[in-house]
Amino acid sequence: MLSETETRLLGVMMMVIMLGMGASLTFKDFAIALRKPVGVVVGLLCQYGVMPLLAYVLSLVLALPPAYAVGLILMGCMPGGTTSNIFAYFSKGTLSLSILMTMSSTLVAIVMVPLTLAFYSQGIEGNWQIPRENVIQVLFVLLVPTVIGIALRKWNANVGALIEMIGGLLGVLVILFLVVSWVPRNGALLMQTGFPVYAASIGLGLAGFALGYLISRGLKQDPRRSRTIALETGIQNGPLAVLIVLLSFTGTQQQEVLLIPVLYSLFIVLTSTAVTIWFRRITTREELARDAAKIGALAKA
Amino acid sequence: MDAISPYDLRPWVGQYGSHIKAELTPPAAASLPAMAQAAAARFARQTAFTTVMPNGMYGSLSYQQVDEKSDHFARYLRQVLKLDAGDRVAIQMPNSLAYPVVLLGVLKAGCVAVNTNPLYTAAEMAHQFKDSGAKAVVVVDLFADKLEQALPQTDVKHVVITRVPEFFPPVVGGIVHAVMKYWNRQVPAHRVPFTALPAALAQGAAAGGDVKAWWGGLTHDSLALLQYTGGTTGVAKGAMLTHGNLLWNVAQMRAMCGSHIDEGKEVVLTALPLYHIFAFTVNFLSMFEAGARNILVPSPRPVQNLQRAIENYKITWLTGVNTLYNALLGEEWFTAFPPRHIKAAGGGGAAMHHAVVERFEQVTGAPLVEGYGLTESSPVVCFQPLNGKRHRDTIGVPAPMTDVRLVDDTGEPVPLGQPGELVVRGPQVMQGYWQRPEATAEVIKDGWLHTGDVAVMDAEGTFKIVDRKKDMILVSGFNVYPNEIEDALTRHDGVLEAAVIGVPDPKTGEAVRAYVVKRDEALTAEALMAHCRTLLTGYKMPVRIEFRDELPKTPVGKILRRDLRAEVLGANKNKT
């Protein structure tokens, strides 16, 4: 479990991250996104259709106890993580699409997260339920820095771009912070934790990648966009889930519910890195093949 | 020979109307530094230049700051490096705040600037520095490694290195530089002994010296710039442009724009590189004189790099080449929210395509006027007037005080309506090529600059470029002009851009071949052929259409037909 100070620190960091995300946007970006809604629709479908369902199914298949199940379902209901944009960049994906998806899923989070969370956690005992007010409150509080970020960008482009960068870096730092502050104190717990919990924590991300890719291919997106959507789907906003758990539970209860969100956050960095390297290779190979085709056309001429 | 030809009466003056003065008095300033100083005094506190990075980070200099810093750079050149009047200083950098400071500093020192394309290879750099005899080079750090290879072959004694975010606020500049260096790995390591630009300015400031004494004696006949050209045809030659050439061309530009340039209030987007003569005269010199704010974009490729610049500033003027406008029109952020304050846009460098002009005007509601010029004429020769009747698909009319004729191979003016080579006479025409009297004599005959472009003129004096003399394709004895075929191709909605060349053909001598970049993936060669058949007669039809992902281009975005021809010829050689 995290101390009061650490919880507050995490809250502040989340605010800065959201400030950064706001600063990466302009109102025109929204308007443009809404003009061509395919990316947004696919993103929302993956984020709030596929992921919560996937988490729910995983919790049933692995027969997780309520404490872990609620953590997993919460994780599945989260909007896209801001770190996905960094991975999209490194994997030579479509960066604008990644940003657009993160942004749209975050903005509708205040409605969609409480809805999906309530729906999929119906069968969970009352004292393990996450109060809807907490979720709404956290999301609402995070909307404020987002709006401030947008305003700052409009006010001064230098300040906006600076905050955007800091926010992006903090996204990675927060996960490091969780590793450093949480893992050493919970070594024993990690040792005792059985296969199902690890399978759920790792599987949620991996299955998210796979389903995101298949669905977007099914919706006729090209392979490169589909790889971007795959990363975006699998990468959830882990720190946000951690924050909600911290505000909703205390003591050992908190520690138990926190397990899957924290494990997910740790493993998603590793799996995303592996997937990013793989995707990058595919994209590079495709680029080379295109060049070779050009040379072939030349030789024929 | 001396019979009055249709061109001698300047029929185009009728189109000037009351907006454009036909007779201009010589520019009041004796030199570019004199012009710059007058502008700096008048608009002192206003922002002169803002460089905008792709993520929106920016830095700015006021007129006064440009004036002071360029004074310091002049002092550095004269007092610290001990350069003499007339010494050549090469400038090699993308658009950045350092550019105007260095350029004006060189001119204020009484030296001659050598604009150098930063994308040059080491061999090209070496040629240009050797040919111009440059003693000092101001180079951006991105290309210092190439300079290291080129230096031993040249007389360059001094190297000053600048950065893209030069003169940005410290934190922002530091981040931009760090991202370029450590993230994008664009800043190469090198072992060139150098002085950083800020240090050079500090040394100049410490050394002191009466800057005006160095430029006060400059006149309209003094050499200001060696602008290299002809790289596309072989050895690059330095066009000698004087202070007078450039000041005249500024005056001509200003006369053509008239009241459309509101002094001290314009915001001009400079996406084309300043080392190119088009942006140099039109965006930098003319707009500096008019007290405008120049929004400099270091690299317009990819074109998304322009998004923040266009969103964050109220752009009133913009210049570009066909490929740039075409790329902008392919961007949703541009077409969905076109800049609302644009008064006019200028196009040149290569023929503007009908479809691009039409769409741009429809999207922005502002006229996109096409001009025509070349390095050897500082560059502006012709422009479509902003008032009066628009003649689309033409290059408009000659600028005031400019004579234009169309001549045949013997130099005789061709009759009205007939195609002929466009020749120019006016105060903007260069002195000649640097240390190349034979090459000069080939292009300047009896005071007329021969452009190598074939054009026609109508009765009102509007000119239309038919094509480059050497790009003309001869199909079974018929002249085919690639521009016309490219225009037909790009009128198809599925075509993003197209290039047309002639290839050797056993039956027809030459045959038309088209290279096309698709906008719509579903486009087929058959469909495009069918489209062309509705616009072109048989002998003009492309015999073959080849689809490409991109076309070879110059740094300003001119499509390089010559590279495509070289590909074909090279491939033929391999086959035999």
Q: Chain B contact for A290, CB < 8 A?
A: yes
The three-state DSSP-derived secondary structure of B195-232 is EEHHHHHHHHHHHCCCHHHHHCCCCCCCEEEEEEECCC
Contacts of B349 (CB under 8 A, 6+ apart): B272, B276, B278, B321, B322, B556, B557, B558
For residue range B246-264, what is the model confidence (pLDDT) as tens digits? 999 999 999 999 889 999 9
Determine, yes or no, domain membership for B137.
yes
* B575: pLDDT strictly greater than 70: no
pLDDT at A255: 83
Q: State chain A's maximal CA–CA distance in angstroms.
A: 74
| Nearest-neighbour CA in chain A from B405: distance (Å) | 40
Is the pLDDT confidence value at A183 over 80? no
pLDDT band at B19 (very low <50, low <70, confident <90, very high): confident
Task: Give the H/E segment covering residue B295.
Answer: strand B293-296
Strands B380-383 and B368-373: antiparallel
Say how many domains are in chain B. Answer: 2
Average pLDDT in chain A: 83
CA gap A192, A200 in Å, rounded: 15
Query: Are the CB atoms for A225 and A38 separated by under 8 Å?
Result: no
Span B23-52, average pLDDT: 96
Tell me the residue type at B528: L
Helix (H, G, I), strand (E, B) or coil at B51: strand
Share of chain B above pLDDT 70, in %: 97
How many whole angstroms separate alpha carbon B453 and alpha carbon B468?
Answer: 4
Burial of B286 (0-12, 13-18, 19+ CB in 10 A): buried
Q: Which amino acid, one-letter code, is at B372?
A: Y
| Percentage of chain A lying above the pLDDT 90 cut | 25
Task: Give me the residue label for tokens 């074939």.
Answer: B454
Alpha helices in B445-560, H assignment, sequence order: 482-490, 525-533
Write the CA distances from A251 to B73, B118, B195, integer angstroms: 67, 63, 62
Question: pLDDT tens for residues B384-402?
Answer: 999 878 888 899 999 999 9
pLDDT at A179 over 90: no
For residue B415, being part of any structural domain is answered with: no
Contact A154, A26 (CB under 8 A): yes
Last residue of some domain: B218, B249, B283?
B218
Q: Is the pLDDT of residue B514 over 90?
A: yes
Confidence band, pLDDT 50/70/90 cuts, at residue B576: very low
CATH number at residue B185: 3.40.50.980
Instruction: Quote the CA–CA distance of A287 and A276 in Å, as a whole number.
Output: 16
Do residues A232 and A48 lie in contact, with contact meaning Cβ atoms separated by under 8 Å?
A: no
pLDDT at B571 (0 to 100): 65
Q: Do B57 and A28 touch (CB under 8 A)?
A: no
d(CA B52, CA B165) in angstroms, rounded, equals 9
For A2-6, which contacts have Cβ atoms below 8 Å and span 24 or more sequence positions? A2/A181, A2/A182, A2/A246, A2/A258, A6/A181
Phi, psi (5° rounding) for residue B495?
A: -105, 125
pLDDT tens-digit map of B560-573: 888 888 888 776 55
> Which residue is listed with tokens 């469909």?
B527
Upper half-sphere CA count for residue A282 (Cβ side, 13 Å)? 14
DSSP structural state of residue B412: P
Distance (Å, whole) CA A280 – CA A258: 33
**Set of chain A residues whose Cβ sits within 8 Å of the Cβ of B169:** 158
Chain B hits for A85, CB-CB cut-off 8 Å, are none
Ordered domains of chain A (ranges, CATH)? 4-300 (1.20.1530.20)
Q: List the CATH number of the domain containing B492.
A: 3.30.300.30
Last residue of a domain, one of B218, B248, B283: B218
The complex scores an ipTM of 0.71
Contact across the interface for A161 and B171, Cβ inside 8 Å: no
| pTM, entire model | 0.82
Is B265 inside any structural domain? no
CB B426 within 8 Å of CB B456: no
Distances in Å between the alpha carbon of B180 and those of A158, B164, B186, B335, B535?
A: 16, 9, 5, 30, 48
* Closest alpha carbon within chain A to B575: A299
Distance CA A228, CA A224 (A): 6
Q: How far is A151 from chain B (nearest CA, A)?
A: 13
Stretch A96-102: mean pLDDT: 80
Are B56 and A157 a contacting pair at CB < 8 A?
yes
Taking contacts as CB-CB distances below 8 angstroms, the residues of chain A near B337 are 28, 31-32
Q: Is residue B480 part of a domain?
A: yes
- The pLDDT score that the predictor gives to residue B572 is 58
Domain assignment present for residue B412? The answer is no
Choice among A4-18, A45-59, A206-220 with the minimum mean pLDDT: A4-18
A158 close contact with B: CB closer than 8 A: yes
Whether residue B152 is contained in a domain is answered as yes
Judge: B571–A301 Cβ closer than 8 Å, yes or no: yes
> DSSP labels for B301-337?
-SGGGGHHHHHHS---EEEE-HHHHHHHHT-HHHHHS
Tell me: pLDDT of A2 over 70.
no
A136 CB neighbour count, 10 Å cutoff: 15
- The kind and range of the H/E element at B474 are strand B473-475
Alpha-helical segments (H) within B76-208: 98-108, 122-132, 144-150, 170-178, 197-207
Q: What is the mean pLDDT of chain B?
A: 91
* Range 21-60 of B in CB contact (< 8 A) with A: 52-53, 55-58
In angstroms, the CA A234 to CA B271 distance is: 39
Residue A196 main-chain phi, psi, to 5 deg? -55, -40
User: Which token pair is B63?
Assistant: 């007129």
Structural domain includes residue B356? no
Q: Which amino acid is at B57?
A: M
Mean pLDDT calculated for residue range A2-14: 78
**Residue range B58-80: mean pLDDT, rounded:** 98
**B379 prior amide bond cis, ω within 30:** yes
Higher-pLDDT residue of A182 and B294 is: B294
Domain boundaries, position B538: 472-575
Residues of B in contact with A162 (CB under 8 A): 57, 171-172, 175
In a domain, B350, yes or no: no
